[in-house]
Structure 1
Amino acid sequence: MIALVNPVSSGVFLSAAFRERGEECLLVYDGHFAAAAEDGGPGRRVIHRDVHSTARLLRDLRVRHVVPGSEAGVDLAHRLAEHLDLPRNDDATASARCDKARMVKALDDAGIEVPRQALVTAREDLPGALDHVGLPVVAKPPGSSGSDGCRICRTEQEAAEHFRAIHHRSNLLGTVNEAVLVQEYLPGSQYLVATVSLDGQHCLYELSRSCVDERGGTPTRRYTISCHRLGPEEHRVLAYVYACLDALGIRRGAANTDVRLTQAGPRIIEVNARILGPTLDPDPYFKAFGSSQQHLLVESLLAPADFRRRLPVGYTPPNVMGKAFLRSFGSGVLRGIPGLEAVRRLPGFHSVTSLPEVGTTIKDHALTTGSTGIVYFVHEDEPVVRKSLAVLVSMEDAGALFDIAAV
């Protein structure tokens, strides 16, 4: 049996990938995600109370792998695997894989070039942190996901206001922001690198460029477009990412890494030691890459010999994929999505998922959670995908996609 910890967002598809291979999953949810247990798909469920009792249950059920089903499951999955002495990533760097401030420090200690940063726990320490890092900065919680609480601050006043807004507040993972991470703003192209590792060998699954806008101080990922082939810049980014994975003790399992390629070279934004989220349907990934990260992870655990045969093949995706998190750029009650028909007619359109229901109140357009839908384009020619994404972005900016009634 496989234990999936907090299998929310793309963890639902991970559970399905295990079931496709005939593998039973135990779905473990902590208290914050107890309500999600009702929507986690088939499988036995357990609500986690404490490590000792949950580990005892996993031992009785002869669980042989404990896998994080989302960002919220990374820490608990490792602690359970450690308690049961099951295969896992490096114990010494476990906390660095769950905390962005510790992550950057661990990479710096390993001799990897990283952005300047400071962890601020009190308002009076903020000016000193800004002097050390230098404006502009990115201020964000040290532990969260989906761009939650992330803001670009160009003045001390903006940084102070944002500090007050998120300090001691609950984040998307259900924990309280006891501190705020202030990090050097990194200009340059942004890359997403998705991998699956086994015994310290990393298999590149996806390498994509991200289009990120700044709207009201919030960095907003508009879309990603996969690299069909790797050029010198991509090889440079990939070598840097592999060094980060090694330094963070990621020897097995899925990871996705955000990197900025600056004039001084690649610089880390964050490494997430789990499958890519939010709720990403595997079908367009199969069309673009020949597999999905969920299925590749399952293969590495259940059929490691098959997985190892992939390693010498390298990165040879058959198609290019563009993925866009639909943005409403407005709050209110959804009355319809009139622009969706035009989007479906765009060249290379593959599918759209996670659309909100009519009548839903849309509260936040900045988070990268897929709450207002995800559109996929897949085509053999990158210019076709890029042009369709440009049309989609122009429709969003013009307010031609969603019909929202202000409240």
Structure 2
Amino acid sequence: MAENRPVVVLVDAYTSAQYLPPQFRALGAELAHVQSTPELMSSMPAPDLGVYRHRIVHHDLDATVAQLRRLAPVCVLAGQEPGVELADVLSERLGLVGNGTARSEARRDKYAMAEALRAAGLHCADQLQSSDPEALVEWAVGTGFPVVVKPRKSAAGDNVYICGSAQEVREAAKAVLGSDTIYCETNGEALAQSFLPGTEYVVDMVSHDGRRYVCGVWEYQRRMLPSGRNIYDRERLLAADEHPAPDLIAYVDRALDVLGVRYGPSHAEVMLTPQGPALVEVGARIAGNMHPGFHDRCAGGNQATLTALAYLRPDEFDDGYAGGRFRRRGEAVCCTTSTELCGVVEGIDEAVVDEIRGLDAVYGLNLKLAPGELIRPTVDLYSSTMRIFLAAATMEDIMRDYRRIETLKDRVYRVRDIEESKR
């Protein structure tokens, strides 16, 4: 270990957590990675473990704590949702600043999350959790349709159903109970919640000792599929003082206090209902649409850099950011492309990729599939095909390029039928 270099521990640094190591290293830290499962989760792109000086596969808590204690880390934080509870335990056992374990379940389990908010007087959905589909049907009939059925501990739209009848609730509950989450956890119970009408927003923050900086407020645009699955399509950055951003920020700030999020990044999804904001869920981790350069350009800062600053240079974070809000520098949209293609990716059409990259409003894009991987009709974020970041002076400029992307997106991947690939 390099002398006098602080060690930062990330637990399950999948997907957007890839942006955290460069920011911590830029502030002089070295990285350790803790993998909470014996094997890497196949449902998500594997983290680049080459950027970590220390790599630990967690099997036994005492053993993992002992290994980390030898590294004398300055902080432990979750890279992705499945790492939240383990990061809380490890930081507490090591005596480090963190969110503690008292509210860990409420930061991870959507049922416990809503009950904690309800007990504190915050508006949220009515709900029932059960392993019995018929109990969920009976509750839904009594509550009134539509209702939402989903897993208690997943994310990214995984197995989330909007149900308009008893039979749809029954089928959705069976689908949830008959599957594992994207994080390879068995769904022992399904969660049914009252439908929250209105527009959905995202509020991203970074906290240090309960003081927060608002990194961005985004308005979701969704696309309803014939199957009843409501998939993400794009999200637009609001100005910090644009309605309803101030109300959403105030609500999320209270929710984070209730859930014990005092340190690190948070990603909250909130519905603005006729009765006011209501939490859909909050993750005590970095946002999925993170791209440091893009966020710096459109919001004057990004969650990854500020997370590193809050942990490694807390006085600088407190003096320059805590209690503050982002400043939008222009129109910005994060687009998540969907597909109806099904098969095996044979290759990438680089000419099409270059055409998309060359559009005036496109800041950058992330391809989510590689040759040899399966492509399937989109039902959630993890089955989408690309994430594209757009920034321009006007929304008209962005939407012109967005419409062009819609005509190009299914030409990016060269796809062969699965049966042909077996020959």
Q: How does the TM-score come out when normalised to structure 1?
A: 0.92
What is aligned with 1:109? 119
Q: Distance in 2 between matches of 1:246 and 1:235?
A: 17
What is aligned with 2:307? 297
CA shift in 2, pair 1:187/1:401, >3 Å: farther
Helix, strand or coil at the partner of 1:172: coil
CA shift in 2, pair 1:190/1:392, >3 Å: farther
| Aligned residue type for 2:360 | P
Q: Distance in 1 between matches of 2:395 and 2:333?
A: 9
Q: Are 2:3 and 1:19 aligned?
A: no
Q: How far has the Cα of 1:32 moved from its partner?
A: 4.8
Q: Kindly indicate whether the alpha-carbon contact (under 8 Å) linking 1:7 and 1:40 is maintained by their aligned counterparts in 2.
A: no
Q: How far has the Cα of 1:168 moved from its partner?
A: 4.5
Compare 16-25 and 138-147 and name the one that shifted more. 16-25
What is aligned with 1:306? 316
What is aligned with 2:214? 204
Q: How far has the Cα of 1:404 moved from its partner?
A: 4.1
Q: Distance in 2 between matches of 1:146 and 1:49?
A: 27
CA shift in 2, pair 1:347/1:330, >3 Å: same
Q: How far has the Cα of 1:204 moved from its partner?
A: 0.3
Q: Are 2:133 and 1:136 aligned?
A: no
Q: Kindly indicate whether the alpha-carbon contact (under 8 Å) linking 2:338 and 2:385 is maintained by their aligned counterparts in 1.
A: yes
Q: 1:249 aligns with which of 260, 267, 270?
A: 260
What is aligned with 2:288? 277
What is aligned with 1:127? 137
CA shift in 2, pair 1:390/1:37, >3 Å: closer
Q: Distance in 1 between matches of 2:272 and 2:411?
A: 33
Number of aligned residue pairs: give it: 404
Q: Distance in 1 between matches of 2:166 and 2:412?
A: 36
What is aligned with 2:3? none
Residue correspondence of structure 1 range 113-262 to structure 2 within 5 A: 113-215=123-225, 216-262=227-273
Q: 2:84 aligns with which of 74, 84, 89?
A: 74
What is aligned with 1:346? 359
Could you give the per-residue CA deviations for residues 90-138 of structure 1, whole angstroms, max 9, x where no partner exists?
Answer: 5322110010010000000000011111112112312222134321111
| Aligned residue type for 2:284 | A
Q: How far has the Cα of 1:314 moved from its partner?
A: 2.8
Identity of aligned residues (%): 26
Q: Kindly indicate whether the alpha-carbon contact (under 8 Å) linking 2:159 and 2:176 is maintained by their aligned counterparts in 1.
A: yes
Q: Are 2:19 and 1:6 aligned?
A: no
Q: How far has the Cα of 1:80 moved from its partner?
A: 0.9
Compare 164-173 and 29-38 and name the one that shifted more. 29-38
Residue correspondence of structure 1 range 255-404 to structure 2 within 5 A: 255-277=266-288, 280-308=290-318, 309-311=320-322, 313-334=324-345, 337=349, 340-369=353-382, 372-393=385-406, 404=415
Which stretches in structure 1 are left out of the alignment for 5+ residues? none
Q: Distance in 2 between matches of 1:329 and 1:266?
A: 34
Q: 1:42 aligns with which of 51, 71, 76?
A: 51
Could you give the per-residue CA deviations for residues 280-318 of structure 1, whole angstroms, max 9, x where no partner exists?
Answer: 432222222233211110000111122112235532132
Compare 236-245 and 324-333 and name the one that shifted more. 324-333
CA shift in 2, pair 1:378/1:84, >3 Å: same
Compare 299-308 and 383-392 and name the one that shifted more. 383-392
Q: How far has the Cα of 1:37 moved from its partner?
A: 7.1
CA shift in 2, pair 1:39/1:364, >3 Å: farther
Helix, strand or coil at the partner of 1:250: coil
Runs of 4+ in 1 over 6 A off after TM superposition: 35-38
CA shift in 2, pair 1:217/1:32, >3 Å: farther
Which stretches in structure 2 are left out of the alignment for 5+ residues? 1-6, 419-423
Q: Kindly indicate whether the alpha-carbon contact (under 8 Å) linking 1:354 and 1:371 is maintained by their aligned counterparts in 2.
A: no
Helix, strand or coil at the partner of 1:369: helix
CA shift in 2, pair 1:333/1:22, >3 Å: same
Helix, strand or coil at the partner of 1:10: helix
Q: Distance in 2 between matches of 1:364 and 1:32?
A: 29
Q: How far has the Cα of 1:84 moved from its partner?
A: 1.9
Q: Are 2:107 and 1:94 aligned?
A: no
Q: How far has the Cα of 1:390 moved from its partner?
A: 4.4
